[in-house]
C-alpha cells in the first residue's frame, strides 16, 4: 500500500524527525507539504530532498504553528490547492529545559505553546477540511517517551506538554475513527536532530524574562549522541503506522522497565474494587 494521490502536511518537517517523516511519505508516493518556521532549515531540506530524487514530491511553506491566524489561512490554501490534506503530522516541537523552580511564564508559554498548542492549532485548523472532503485520512501527533517516564534532566514543562499530546491522541481516536480518520502518537527516544537549537524557535517576547536562559545555552552546546537513532528510520516507522492505523509508535525500548514501574506504582496506589469499567 502507498500514499499515491494523497497529500500530507508535516509541521516541523524541515529538520530531524519531521524531515525523516517527509522522506518516508514522499518515497511512498505522497505529495508532502513541509511546514516550518525556520527558512534556513526549509532551504536545506528542499536541497536534500531534490538530491534524493524527491524534489517533485514536496513543497514547503513557512508557518509558525503557534500563530492561529496564519494556520487558518494555511488551511484555506491547502483546501484551494489540494482539495484539503489527507495526512496531518503535528510534529513541530521544541526542547524546553530548565529547573522548574526557575521557570517563568514565558518558559511555560513557549514550551506548552509549541509542544501542545501547536498540536491543538493543527487539529482546529485542519480537521474540518479532512472531514469535509470525505476521503478519510490520518493524524500523527509527535509526543515523546518523556510523556511516559521521568527522564533525566529538567523536563517538567516539556514532559507536561508531551503527556498532554499522548493523552489527547488516545482520547480523540474514537471520534476521528467515526469520520474515517485514523490517529497515531509518535513517542521517540533519542533521535539525531537539531532539537538542541530550539532556543532559536523562541520568539523575542518569550525570551524576555525567561528563567531558562542558562539551561538553554547549555542545551545548545549538547552533543548529539552518535548512537542516537537516524530520523529516517523513525520516518519509516511512522509511514508504516499510518498505513496500519497503529495508535502507538514507540521507537526505543530502553525505557520499558521504567514504563512498567510507573504503571505498577499507579496500580499499587489504586484501591481494589470489584466493579470495573
Report the residue from 12, 84, 122, 137 that binds ligand NAI according to the rule CB under 6 A.
Answer: 12
Total residue count of the chain as it appears in this document: 277
**Nearest distance in Å: CB 179, ligand NAI:** 25
DSSP H helical ranges for 7-146: 16-27, 39-51, 68-82, 105-115, 117-132
**Nearest distance in Å: CB 126, ligand NAI:** 14
The residue range among 33-41, 130-138, 177-185, 241-249 that interacts with ligand NAI, by the rule CB under 6 A, is 33-41
Q: Which of residues 130-149 bind ligand NAI (CB under 6 A)?
A: 142, 144
Question: CB within 8 A of 175, min separation 6: which ones?
Answer: none
If we measure between CA atoms, which residue out of 19, 143, 30, 18 comes closest to residue 85? 30
158 noted as active-site residue: yes
* 37 sits near ligand NAI (criterion: CB under 6 A): yes
* 238 sits near ligand NAI (criterion: CB under 6 A): no
Report the residue from 24, 130, 195, 238 that binds ligand NAI according to the rule CB under 6 A.
Answer: 195
3-state secondary structure of 88: strand
* 206 sits near ligand NAI (criterion: CB under 6 A): no
Size of the site for ligand NAI (CB under 6 A): 31
The answer to whether the beta carbons of residues 139 and 253 sit under 8 Å apart is no
**Nearest distance in Å: CB 249, ligand NAI:** 11
Q: Which residues pair with 25 in a beta bridge?
A: none
**Nearest distance in Å: CB 209, ligand NAI:** 19
Report the residue from 118, 122, 137, 182 that binds ligand NAI according to the rule CB under 6 A.
Answer: 118
**Nearest distance in Å: CB 2, ligand NAI:** 24
* 123 sits near ligand NAI (criterion: CB under 6 A): no
Between CA 159 and CA 6 the distance in angstroms is 33
Q: Look up residue 68 and give its three cell numbers.
A: 492561529
CB-nearer residue toward ligand NAI: 2 or 167: 167
* 34 sits near ligand NAI (criterion: CB under 6 A): no
CB atoms within 10 A of CB 84: 21
Burial label, 248 (beta-carbon count in 10 A; 0-12, 13-18, 19+): middle
* 65 sits near ligand NAI (criterion: CB under 6 A): yes
**Nearest distance in Å: CB 15, ligand NAI:** 3
If we measure between CA atoms, which residue out of 223, 214, 230, 225 comes closest to residue 196? 223
The answer to whether the beta carbons of residues 36 and 42 sit under 8 Å apart is yes
Between CA 114 and CA 112 the distance in angstroms is 6
* 25 sits near ligand NAI (criterion: CB under 6 A): no
Q: Strand pairing of 181-187 and 87-90?
A: unpaired
Which residues of this chain interact with ligand NAI, rule CB under 6 A?
Answer: 11-12, 14-18, 36-38, 41, 63-66, 91-94, 114, 118, 142, 144, 188, 190-191, 193-195, 198, 201
As annotated, the active-site residues are 158
Amino acid at each position: 500500500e502507498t500514499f499515491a494521490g494523497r497529500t500530507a502536511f508535516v509541521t516541523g518537517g524541515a529538520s530531524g524527525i519531521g524531515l525523516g517523516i517527509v522522506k518516508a511519505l514522499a518515497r511512498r508516493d505522497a505529495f508532502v507539504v513541509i511546514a516550518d518556521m525556520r527558512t534556513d532549515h526549509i532551504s536545506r531540506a528542499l536541497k536534500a530532498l531534490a538530491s534524493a530524487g524527491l524534489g517533485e514530491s514536496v513543497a514547503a511553506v513557512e508557518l509558525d504553528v503557534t500563530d492561529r491566524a496564519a494556520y487558518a489561512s494555511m488551511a484555506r490554501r491547502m483546501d484551494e490547492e489540494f482539495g484539503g490534506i489527507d495526512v496531518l503530522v503535528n510534529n513541530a516541537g521544541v526542547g524546553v529545559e530548565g529547573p522548574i523552580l526557575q521557570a517563568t511564564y514565558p518558559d511555560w508559554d513557549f514550551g506548552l505553546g509549541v509542544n501542545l498548542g501547536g498540536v491543538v492549532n493543527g487539529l482546529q485548523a485542519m480537521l474540518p477540511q479532512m472531514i469535509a472532503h470525505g476521503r478519510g485520512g490520518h493524524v500523527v501527533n509527535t509526543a515523546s517517551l518523556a510523556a511516559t517516564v521521568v527522564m533525566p534532566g529538567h523536563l517538567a514543562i516539556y514532559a507536561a506538554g508531551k503527556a498532554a499530546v499522548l493523552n489527547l491522541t488516545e482520547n480523540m481516536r474514537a471520534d476521528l475513527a467515526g469520520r474515517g480518520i485514523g490517529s497515531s502518537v509518535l513517542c521517540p527516544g533519542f533521535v539525531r536532530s537539531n532539537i538542541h537549537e530550539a532556543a532559536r524557535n523562541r520568539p523575542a517576547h518569550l525570551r524576555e524574562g525567561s528563567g531558562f536562559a542558562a539551561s538553554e545555552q547549555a542545551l545548545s552546546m549538547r552533543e548529539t549522541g552518535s548512537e542516537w537513532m537516524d530520523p529516517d528510520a523513525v520516518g519509516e516507522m511512522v509511514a508504516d503506522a499510518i498505513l496500519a492505523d497503529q495508535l502507538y509508535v514507540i521507537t526505543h525500548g530502553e525505557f520499558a522497565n521504567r514504563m512498567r514501574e510507573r504503571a505498577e506504582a499507579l496500580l499499587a496506589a489504586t484501591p481494589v474494587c470489584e466493579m470495573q469499567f
